[in-house]
């Protein structure tokens, strides 16, 4: 009995050319993505901000035209961010000035003491401290004046581009999404896709809004506690705690640790009390606020949020961590909508 004829792979000239072109196109696309990652980041950040602000625009557009509603929301957002930024920067400047005045006096007292005076003079502690406090303003502004100007110009371009793109998405985003949905010719498939996208958006961004609300509340609590305990720099410490609060478990610890350390350096009992207060608040946040958020939106889970946050932190810093967290949440929301019941 004759065996079946063996199949052979035939590589024609046309298939070889197409393979080479496909490989070259893939490499070119990857190079383009790498070269334009900053612009892609601006687009993704603008789309995320627009999606977060869209419910407020929709609410206001019931009373005024959408363009005016977008302007009101934009002005309100800029005012809120400017207020928080001014408070944080003002506190940093004041505390830096206090440090420059107090540090030399404390070092002089230490050099005059019988116990540590000889050691302080041997290691030239006064000179080291004076250099440190004199370089503090330069470190805060990001280096030399020229370096600070370049950094400010780069950030200014990024903020301007992101702001313009955000306004564009707020004004024309609904039309763009409707046009994308019309690309699906089958009416049933189109209706299914629109329903799944709408539900995923509502649940995913609902989770994000509630998480940001809890983050803002944690920052406010940290600010009030730090101010009541007379901890230096309560505004930047509150901003720091708010940014880290979006990361489960470790975020709360990292965010409130500077407040506890600064308080304990002056009075260990006060530091212990503040640590207990922050632990109590985090228990309340996790048991009450977080569970209510998950019941009304979706459950993401600590593993995905921690992994996404640290991956984004490694790639693009704190802003990248927030953006990757948002992407993870949206993926979970879409998967939950598409999963069979």
Return the closest-CA partner of residue 130 out of 96, 97, 107.
107
Asked if 167 contacts 70 with a C-beta cutoff of 8 angstroms, the reply is yes
Tell me if residue 249 falls in helix, strand or coil.
coil
Asked if 212 contacts 193 with a C-beta cutoff of 8 angstroms, the reply is no
pTM for this model (two decimals):
0.74
**Residue 98 corresponds to which tokens in the numbers above?**
């206090």
φ/ψ bin of 301: left (φ > 0), alpha (ψ from -120 to 50), beta (otherwise): left
Q: What is the DSSP string of 178-239?
A: HHHHTT--SHHHHHHHHHHHHHHHHHHHHHHHHHHHHHHHHHHHHHHHHHHTT-S-HHHHHH
Question: What is the overall mean pLDDT for the chain?
Answer: 80
pLDDT at position 221: 94
What percentage of the chain carries pLDDT values higher than 90? 17
Q: Give the model confidence (pLDDT) of 177-220 as tens digits.
A: 888 888 888 888 888 888 888 888 888 888 888 888 999 999 99
> What is the pLDDT confidence band of residue 6, given thresholds at 50, 70 and 90?
low
Rounded CA gap, 145 and 150, in Å? Answer: 9
Rounded CA gap, 276 and 273, in Å? Answer: 5
Q: Give the model confidence (pLDDT) of 297-336 as tens digits.
A: 888 777 777 777 777 777 666 667 777 778 888 888 878 7
pLDDT at position 219: 93
């Amino acid at each position: 009995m004759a065996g079946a004829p063996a199949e052979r792979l035939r590589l024609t000239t046309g298939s070889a050319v197409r393979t080479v072109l496909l490989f070259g196109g893939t490499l070119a696309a990857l190079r383009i993505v790498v070269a334009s990652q900053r612009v892609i980041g601006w687009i993704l950040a603008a789309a995320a901000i627009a999606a977060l602000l869209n419910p407020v625009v929709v609410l206001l557009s019931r009373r005024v035209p959408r363009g005016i509603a977008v302007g009101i929301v934009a002005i309100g957002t800029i005012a809120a961010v400017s207020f928080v930024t001014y408070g944080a920067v003002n506190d940093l400047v004041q505390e830096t000035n206090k440090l420059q005045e107090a540090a030399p006096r404390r070092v002089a007292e230490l050099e005059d003491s019988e116990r540590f005076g000889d050691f302080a003079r041997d290691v030239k502690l006064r000179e080291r401290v004076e250099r440190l406090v004199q370089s503090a303003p330069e470190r805060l502004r990001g280096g030399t004046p020229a370096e600070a100007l370049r950094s400010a110009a780069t950030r200014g371009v990024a903020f301007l581009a992101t702001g313009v793109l955000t306004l564009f998405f707020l004004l024309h985003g609904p039309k763009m999404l409707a046009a994308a949905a019309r690309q699906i010719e089958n009416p049933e498939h189109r209706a299914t896709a629109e329903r799944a996208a709408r539900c995923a958006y509502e649940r995913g961004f609902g989770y994000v809004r509630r998480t940001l609300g809890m983050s803002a509340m944690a920052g406010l609590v940290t600010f009030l506690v730090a101010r009541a305990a007379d901890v230096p720099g309560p505004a930047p410490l509150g901003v720091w705690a708010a940014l880290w609060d979006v990361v489960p478990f470790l975020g709360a610890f990292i965010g409130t640790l500077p407040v506890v350390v600064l308080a304990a350096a002056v009075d260990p009992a006060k530091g212990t009390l503040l640590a207990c207060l922050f632990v109590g608040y985090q228990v309340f946040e996790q048991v009450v606020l977080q569970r209510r958020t998950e019941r009304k939106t979706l459950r993401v889970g600590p593993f995905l949020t921690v992994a996404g946050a640290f991956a984004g932190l490694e790639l693009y810093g704190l802003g990248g961590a927030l953006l990757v967290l948002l992407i993870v949440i949206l993926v979970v929301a879409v998967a939950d909508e598409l999963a069979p019941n």
